Structure 1
């Protein structure tokens, strides 16, 4: 884990899963747009006892595991000097891309589920789609799949409205 902390700040994302280093290239503009737009919406509705972070920000659910969700929500009290360690997140969000799709859909889903992350959202910019998974009895249950201009009114981790198309498309001001 100490070696992970010593890696260069070179625009790449470095994550560790059971001794395997996952290296992801810098995200595309549409990916960044989704992250920014979602973060703005989450921040506007976030209760003061929670915090919203964006990658790179470490979530270390267990020894030998360090992940960096694109966006996450956690309790303020769970934030340590290196991120969130050994405490479940309230929400982890991954924006799918060709280089991360399988990791996000399979590997990270399983790790977040095992770690007790309350909600896991997957956003597919190509399909303008949001898939919402919520932990129930230790397993993720699909709560919603919304596309385009349809809205999802989240209750977990707090009340917020998300419209996938608005996250993907640049809205003129």
Structure 2
């Protein structure tokens, strides 16, 4: 009936994503398997937007901040859409970013919590994303992971009105409570 049913599971490619409907759902691709998530809740969008704004205000000219849906395609069989990402301007392609990101940030929601904490963490780590930030709006918390010798290590966990001062991908201060208001 729909487009998704016409492709054998496990055989999706980034080119197939171009033909999917613009229906408010979020489509990602991992090793030929299509992942579909519902449209995010308002608190999720508020936190993602506020984080994107803070990053954009401090972003150096040679870098670029994007918000979902922006495709990061680390391999020919993967297409991910972090809620917020930072990359080098030179790495922005006509349809997607294919070189490793400097930052991928995900805002947790009931529909994506375990996927973001476990699955996407592993995918970003494997793709060499330098820094992975996880925003938990329910706990008003920011967890910062950074790549060290190919593995993520926790650099910081801040809550509420506490301030995190980032060095990667550039210097910026983030207060979790400010992302939720």
Scaled by the length of structure 2, the TM-score of the pair is 0.91
Q: CA deviation at 1:55?
A: 0.3
Q: Does 1:123 align with 2:121?
A: no
Helix, strand or coil at the partner of 1:69: coil
Report the Cα offset of residue 105 of structure 1. 0.7
1:142 counterpart (147, 154, 160):
154
Structure 1 unpaired stretches of 5+ = none
Aligned mate of 1:15, from 14, 23, 28: 28
Alignment: residue pair count = 168
Structure ranking higher in strand proportion: 1
Name the CA distance, whole Å, in 1 between partners of 2:16 and 2:45: 27
Return structure 1 stretches of 4+ with deviation > 4 angstroms. none
Structure number with larger C-alpha Rg: 2
2:82 is equivalent to residue 69 of structure 1: yes
RMSD: 0.6
- How far the C-alpha of 1:63 sits from its partner, in A, is 1.5
Question: 1:19 Cα deviation (Å)?
Answer: 1.5
Deviations 1:60-105 (A, max 9, x none): 01111000000000000000011101x1000000000010011101
TM-score for both structures, normalised by structure 1: 0.96
